[in-house]
Amino acid sequence: MPFTNSLSEEVQTAHKTILIIEDDASIGACLVQAIVEETPYLAFFVTDSLDALQVVEDLKPDLLVIDYRLPHMNGLELYDRIHAQKVLDDIPGIVISAELPLDETQKRHLIGMQKPFDLDELLNTIQEILSR
């Protein structure tokens, strides 16, 4: 029996991945749990921008959720480094922070979310981005 469009879309959706870069391990773990339980997507997290640079090449996620304040470089610098690589330049991102530089976020066409953020709002935003 051939796959229907809706079934193949479900298979594609199930294989979409989100990489969370968050230096607070408890927040990162909470986000992974919420995404895995409440969406059809896979989620992984790292606590360091240098680890993220290594993981993103192997994983090539469909979405980045990046904390602005990270060790070694801030979230926007990390996003720029990732996007400097041709094979990774199409990955969309969401930046989360208590001190969000909105002008810099908007220049990069990133979605910015102020901490503390509403978890349902984040999940809805993720769904909206990955269903495009």
Tell me the average pLDDT across 69-80. Answer: 96
Segment 17-58, tens digit of pLDDT: 999 999 999 999 999 999 999 999 999 999 999 999 999 989
Q: In what order do the strands lie in the sheet with 111-114?
A: 42-46, 17-21, 63-67, 93-97, 111-114
Q: Nearest CA to 76 among 16, 132, 21?
A: 21
DSSP state of 116: S
Q: How far apart are the first and last CA of the chain?
A: 27
pLDDT at 82 over 90: yes
Question: What is the model's pLDDT at position 13?
Answer: 54
pTM for the model stands at: 0.88
Question: What is the model's pLDDT at position 1?
Answer: 38
Question: What is the model's pLDDT at position 15?
Answer: 83
Q: Where are the domains of the chain?
A: 5-130
In the chain, pLDDT over 90 holds for what percent of residues?
Answer: 85
CATH of the domain spanning 5-130: 3.40.50.2300
Task: Please state, in angstroms and rounded to a whole number, the distance separating the CA atoms of residues 81 and 102.
Answer: 19
Q: Which band of pLDDT confidence, cut at 50, 70 and 90, is reported for residue 9?
A: very low
Please indicate whether residue 116 or residue 4 has the higher confidence score (pLDDT).
116
Question: What is the model's pLDDT at position 17?
Answer: 97
Give the number of other CB atoms < 10 A from CB of residue 69. Answer: 14
